[in-house]
Structure 1
Amino acid sequence: MSRRGDAKSLVHDVSRKLRQSIFEGKLKPGDRLQPGVLSKEFGTSTTVVREALILLGNDRLVRSSTGQGYFIPRLDPVELRDLTKVRCHTESLALTLAIERGTLEWESELTAAHHRLTRTPRRSPNESRHSNPEWFKAHRDFHAKLIEACGIEVLTDFCDTLAAATELYRLWSGPIAASATKARDVEKEHADILEAVLARDAPRATALLVAHYTTTVDNLLASWPVAVKDVAE
């Protein structure tokens, strides 16, 4: 049961536990999330659970609709392709501006973010087929830091929204497209992007970033019939 305490802490605790269940594959795309059932499971109120679900909704890991309540979004290959196209365009612009405007302090923070990413295990210690939530956070922080120095808040906010919208797809691309990604060196991809950024080579950096995103999508879509079957089981 959740311990008594500050309501905000309880909300974040329930949100963290639900996020962990999603990352470990215990909750899958299409699964319904009933506040009444979850409140009994976590030993807290339905109000706390609903607020936790709203937090997860901000990251596009949970959605809600009239008649369906809360649920894990289903995977849609057309949506994934479209979101990735928009993300590639917006982040290419943001990264180009960040390279033009970024300071030495930004370079240092970006290098530190990359270091944290390289030192964080990619797979969950509880389930080797699924990504480690801490790695996902470090990965998202690195990509956010890449474009931060562009200095245009509305642009970085939009990029963050797109990143959140594709997170569930990236999460599931690990276990369901593993065979297609064995030869891929994601760590080197990140290192190469960082190297190009520090060299202030915007064309190369943006090309590498776009390739990084599209490779993930191509690998997942290449296994899509298997992917749909796996996430439904």
Structure 2
Amino acid sequence: MSKRGEAKSLALDVYQRIRQGIFDGQITPGTRLQPAVLSKEYNASTTVVREALILLSGDRLVSSTTGQGFSVPELDRKELLDLTLLRCHNEKLALTLAIERGDMDWETEVLAAHHRLSRTQRRLPGDQLHGNPEWFNAHRAFHAKLVEACGIPALIDICEKLAAATEIYRVTSGPVTTTSARNVEQEHADILEAVLHRDAARATALLLEHYQATADKLLARWPGAAADGERVAPPSDR
């Protein structure tokens, strides 16, 4: 039992390290992930590495194809649209319930998560082409905390997986978003204010606008996207 528990702990450690490597941009889309190579890099058995890669497949951060093994998925415009659509629908429900059910402790935790985010630089000093990994971590933590109080583990898990699946698009698009005229910090502050005022309608509207603006900017990396006028339809209140 202890050996199995140790193997599971090692797999989770490798999972976190590979996941962070993808989010940091060190492991790029299209990269093949060979268990034999990774086992040496992470000083773990190939069995442990395969278990970690299977976990990452569940997050849609890694794809597995028979005969070709594991790899980081290539970026796809239609997938980004679909993922954003799903994320908007699920997080609208999750945030609405969180505002309804969340207590003062949750409010305090949301404030703390936003404080950390607002105090973390989006870009690394002297490098305006790549995002700061610490900012991405703080950003994920803030958005995760917003929906945490919905109290539905399955919904929280769905939101987390969709967030992870869309994150790879953002972390690999530094040169695209650097010149953006958006005030992302103000967007986060406005969402926080609406949440603390328990204004679910405004909070969810701002959150969806936030995701849509990000998707619109990322779609610009593909030729013809602007001409196509592709946008994610906002969730209906019906």
Decide whether the 8 Å contact of 2:128 with 2:178 is kept in 1: no
> Mean Cα displacement is larger for which, 199-208 or 152-161?
152-161
Q: Report which of the two has the higher share of helix.
A: 1
Cα distance in structure 1, aligned partners of 2:69 and 2:126? 29
> Mean Cα displacement is larger for which, 110-119 or 125-134?
125-134
- CA drift of 1:219 comes to 0.4
- CA drift of 1:73 comes to 0.7
2:228 is matched with none
1:149 aligns with 2:141: no
Which residue, 179, 185, 188 being the options, matches 1:187?
Answer: 185
Q: Amino acid of the residue matched to residue 73 of structure 1? A: P
Deviations 1:36-68 (A, max 9, x none): 122233444222322332343343322212112
Alpha-carbon spacing, 1:149–1:26, altered in 2? closer, same or farther (3 Å): closer
1:65 is matched with 65
1:215 is matched with 213
Cα distance in structure 1, aligned partners of 2:126 and 2:15? 19
1:231 is matched with none
| Consecutive unaligned residues in structure 1, runs of 5 or more | 1-5, 228-233
Decide whether the 8 Å contact of 1:30 with 1:71 is kept in 2: yes
2:29 is matched with 29
1:205 is matched with 203
Tell me which stretches of 4 or more aligned residues in structure 1 moved more than 6 Å.
none
> Mean Cα displacement is larger for which, 53-62 or 73-82?
53-62
- After TM superposition, the score normalised by the length of structure 2 is 0.80
Q: What SS does structure 1 have at the residue aligned with 2:210? A: helix
1:230 is matched with none
Compute the RMSD of aligned alpha carbons: 2.6
> Mean Cα displacement is larger for which, 209-218 or 61-70?
61-70
- CA drift of 1:213 comes to 0.2
Cα distance in structure 1, aligned partners of 2:124 and 2:55? 22
Q: Amino acid of the residue matched to residue 204 of structure 1? A: R
Q: What SS does structure 2 have at the residue aligned with 1:120? A: coil
1:112 is matched with 112
Decide whether the 8 Å contact of 2:148 with 2:156 is kept in 1: yes
Cα distance in structure 1, aligned partners of 2:23 and 2:103? 35
Cα distance in structure 2, aligned partners of 1:155 and 1:17? 25
Aligned residues: 220
- CA drift of 1:172 comes to 1.9
1:53 is matched with 53
Cα distance in structure 1, aligned partners of 2:119 and 2:103? 25
Alpha-carbon spacing, 1:44–1:150, altered in 2? closer, same or farther (3 Å): closer
1:138 is matched with 138
Cα distance in structure 1, aligned partners of 2:190 and 2:84? 20
Decide whether the 8 Å contact of 1:60 with 1:167 is kept in 2: no
- CA drift of 1:103 comes to 1.2
| Consecutive unaligned residues in structure 2, runs of 5 or more | 1-5, 226-238
